[in-house]
Amino acid sequence: MGRIYSVLVLSAICLISTAQSIDSSQAAEVLKRFDRMQANVNTIYFHVVCEYVNSGQEDSAFRSAASVWLKYEPHDTIFGHFFHVRGDDKNGSYDYYYDGSKGLEARHKEKQLLLFDPYAYPNTANNPAKARTALNALHPLLCRKNITDYLLLNYPYAGKPALSGNRKGSGYLLILTYPVNRYGQQSTLYLEFDDNCMLKSTKRVTKWNGISLTDTFDIDHIGNNNEDVSDELVPHAAFPGYAKREYNGPAERAISPEEILIGEQAPDFSYQSYGGDRISLKKFRGKYVLLDFWETWCGHCIVSFPDLKDLYQRYHQLGLEIIGVSTENQEKVPGIIQANKLPYPNLKGDTAILSNYHIEGRPTYVLIGPTGKVLTYSYGDLAPIRALLDKK
């Protein structure tokens, strides 16, 4: 009996020890150990399963699994490395290659090849060669050196985090809690390392104006400085039978929405608002009306709410009305309206109003004058709206 009791006590001690807290200096040392290992890595191979979820969008979960072969190239100004990603997502299987000059994406289900020249576009996150779902698997912590400075001093859109952690089994779980940034976002990052300080998984949760965004990466089969990586960085097949084209930007429209609408009478509408009233455009005749077409999944839309509120406070007494229009995820919209304290009505729109106003992206702003004619039409930019109102 005594022996059984001793075993139970030892088991309890082991369970407690696996959840033992570590302080910020110990957590920082785990990051530094990872940095020291990465400093000697020239090539890396890993397999990753990732998932992105936006609580503001129905059925938003985007899952993919991929293998990545990567060679660090610090002189490369686009990615900082050459790589090959082979994976599967909701659009089927794919391969993506980048050799320092061109990007090549092969989509096997459609048998299509898409070529990118990243140097033909600004080197931002919106560069067409970068803004591809095929590249979700390129985990930022495995694709860079010196993650300690990156996470603690230079993390995008965030200040210095509070760092804490626990022992998890024989490894570590680090928690980085970032302060609210100027956009109202608050992020928490969870990093799991094994006993050798190799990265096993990451989870980032960002809470932002009534919605939460979560991305999760599970990482395994990490291999460093493997000679086979270089062989995988170039295509081994010519992709016979695949349609091939070079990305040259979005297709040109024969006639733009601006040309169709500006100077014309704005299409009337009547919709239920989230406040319960039925609102039509014609009831605002004699005033300036700014239509804000937005959706819950549109980050730029939500970032722009403070600017829209500022416009409303500044010009409302001078005759400006703002009407928000969204058409999707209607059960999520009231929470976002409340979290952002929007002082103007928001409507439960449908595809008819999107068609009548030729809405192709979000946010789109349409300013209507007192006579009911469209004065200006802007994609994601309130500057021309503000400039026009300043002249009135």
Residue 298 pLDDT: 87
Instruction: Measure Cα distances from 196 to 37, 152, 193, 223 in Å.
Output: 10, 21, 8, 13
Query: In whole angstroms, what is the distance from residue 163 CA to residue 175 CA?
Result: 6
Which domains are assigned to the chain? 19-246 (2.50.20.10), 257-391 (3.40.30.10)
Query: In whole angstroms, what is the distance from residue 358 CA to residue 189 CA?
Result: 40
Question: C-alpha 353: how far from its chain's center?
Answer: 27
How far apart, in Å, do the first and last CA atoms of the chain sit?
90
Residue 254 pLDDT: 63
Sign of torsion over alpha carbons 330, 334, 340, 343: positive
What are the tens digits of pLDDT across the range 11-66?
Answer: 444 444 456 999 999 999 999 999 999 999 999 999 999 999 988 877 778 999 99
Residue type for position 373: K
Instruction: Measure Cα distances from 356 to 269, 298, 303 in Å.
Output: 9, 21, 26
Query: In whole angstroms, what is the distance from residue 301 CA to residue 322 CA?
Result: 14
Residue 303 pLDDT: 86
Please state, as a whole number, how many other Cβ atoms lie within 10 Å of the Cβ of residue 268.
Answer: 11
Strand, helix or coil for residue 236: coil
Query: In whole angstroms, what is the distance from residue 139 CA to residue 153 CA?
Result: 19
The token pair that represents 41 in the structure block: 């890595």
DSSP labels, 58-119: TT--EEEEEEEEEEE-TT-SSSSEEEEEEEEETTEEEEEEE-SS-EEEEETTTTEEEEE-GG
Strand, helix or coil for residue 391: helix
Query: In whole angstroms, what is the distance from residue 245 CA to residue 247 CA?
Result: 7
> For the chain, which residues score pLDDT lower than 70?
1-19, 250-254
Query: In whole angstroms, what is the distance from residue 175 CA to residue 316 CA?
Result: 45
